[in-house]
Amino acid sequence: MPGFIDAHVHIESSKLMVDEFARAVLPRGTTAVVADPHEIANVLGRDGIHWLLDACENLPLEVFVMAPANVPASSLESPVGPLALDDMRSVLKRSHA
């Protein structure tokens, strides 16, 4: 089905769970998003990104998760720590990453 592809979104900034985010955007014509998980990655690290990828499975919205842009975080945030190369490798092996 043709639809809008949002090329850069922070799903966690919507304050919605992923399934509710999908419910909100699909009726308005968005059929796919490319999600930048830097906020969840800063808080939960690699596990947070894997959680997001798991939560996006089997949704009617296509969600592609990019490598987080701002990890490690600036000094204004309280991150769990930087993502190591092995962390990123484990994420990038996943479908939709």
pLDDT tens digits for 68-77?
Answer: 866 666 677 6
> Does residue 40 fall inside a structural domain?
yes
Number of domains within the chain: 1
> Does residue 24 fall inside a structural domain?
yes
How far is 4 from 76, CA to CA, in rounded Å?
33
Q: Is 90 exceeded by the pLDDT of residue 16?
A: yes
What domain range is 11 assigned to?
4-92
> Does residue 71 fall inside a structural domain?
yes
The encoded tokens of residue 91 equal 């994420």
Domain with 38 in it: what CATH number?
A: 3.20.20.140
| pLDDT, tens digit, 9 for 90 and up, residues 30-79 | 999 999 998 888 888 899 999 999 999 999 999 999 988 666 666 776 66
DSSP secondary structure letters along 16-66: S-HHHHHHHHGGGTEEEEEE--HHHHHHHHHHHHHHHHHHTTT-SSEEEEP
Query: Residue 62's Cα: distance from chain center in Å?
Result: 12
pLDDT value at residue 79? 67
pLDDT value at residue 9? 96
> Does residue 43 fall inside a structural domain?
yes
Nearest Cα neighbor of 93 from 61, 58, 67, 73 is 67
Query: Residue 15's Cα: distance from chain center in Å?
Result: 13
Could you give the 3-state DSSP secondary structure of residue 96? Answer: coil
> Does residue 77 fall inside a structural domain?
yes
> Does residue 97 fall inside a structural domain?
no
